Each structure stands twice: as C-alpha cells, then as structure tokens.
Chains A and B, each alone.
Chain A
C-alpha cells in the first residue's frame, strides 16, 4: 500500500542554519504531496503542496520539489528562525478519488537562538 517515510527527529539547529527534512513515498499512480506543520498545542496547518512531478511547492521560505524519479519530497529552508520550531509532517494523497491522506510520522524541529 501507499506509505510515507520521513527522517526521524528531533532535528536541532541554530538560528539561520540550513534545514533539510527528508521525505520519501511509495504510491501507485501520481499522488499529490504535502507538507504540514504543527506548532505546539495546535492542529496541523498546510505548509506547501505539489500536485505533479517536478512541481515545486513553496511558502514562508520553505520549499519542496516533487521528484518522481527518486520518489521524494524533501523540505528545505535556507535560514531557519526560532519561530520555525514545530513538528513537520510529510503526506500524500492518492489521485484516485480516494479519501485518505497518508501521513509520515512527523519530524520535530528545534531551532536555538
């Protein structure tokens, strides 16, 4: 079945460091891919998305490129801030009219001042 695997955390970085959180997926067909962010004590918010191969999603300085050849959707940011500390979830949605978005386990990011 479809699945999402993302790097285990926690990831601890200093402010202004470069961030990469790896995400790979297994799916039949051509799923849509998402990154969600969860700040402490809150629900998840959509951070960015890509719906087809080679699409790049971007938002708030974060970027991720849909790589079909490597089945990856790695999240990157050039310079993290303390306010980026949160849990990041990679997810996929099968484009088959189904109703199930599949989430990775989440990666906790700590950014130190």
Chain B
C-alpha cells in the first residue's frame, strides 16, 4: 500500500532563518506531488506541484521554493523565512489513471511552522 510521510511535524524558526520540509511517498512510482499551505482558520492554498523529477510548477509568488531530487521525494525550502510564512504545510500525492490524474489527493500528516 502507498504511504506518505513528511517531517518535521513541528518547527519553530526565527525570521530570516532557512527552512527545509521534506516529504516522501512509498509504494507508488512517478506520483504527482503537491505542497499546500493552510493558514490558521483558512482553506488550502496550492503552493507547488510536480509531475516528475526536477519538474516544479509554482502557483503563487513567494519566498518559498520546491525541489524534487528523486521520484518520490519533494522538498519545500526557503532561504529566509518571513512572519507570514507561518502555517500548516501539507504534502500530498495523486494517483494517475489512463494517463490522467484522478483528482484524488492523499495527504501527509502536515508540518506546523511557526515563525517568530
């Protein structure tokens, strides 16, 4: 069966410090991968998605970046965190059927980032 893990689960960082959140998927190959952010009391904002190694699409301009160095690994990074980067970050993957994405998303446990 497929599993998805992300870490760390909780992170408290000072403004201006770097960030690295990691996500890995097991039990599937060539998944579509996503990073979402959920601000307190709000819905989900798609930040990045990837359809393959080294292929990253950004949905919103920001000081965050994403990388996919391996097929089942997706990393969210920042060189200098801002207060507004605080939130709950969710990694997700989506299976494909017949060459098309099913639209169904499987989420990791989430990483709560607090920037002070």
Contacts and interface: CB of A to CB of B under 8 A. Distances in A.
Interface of A: 31-32, 34, 36, 41-46, 49, 89, 92-95, 97-101, 103-106
Interface of B: 32, 42-44, 46, 49, 51, 57, 59, 90, 92, 94, 99-110, 112
Contacts, number: 61
A95 B90 CA distance: 23
B90 A97 contact: no
A46 B105 contact: yes
Interface centre among A31, A46, A99 (most CB of B within 10 A): A99
Given A43-B90, A105-B42, A105-B43, A34 B104 contact: yes
Given A99-B49, A103-B43, A106-B43, A43 B109 contact: yes
B43 A46 contact: no
8 contacts: A32-B102, A43-B92, A44-B105, A46-B105, A49-B104, A99-B101, A100-B46, A100-B49
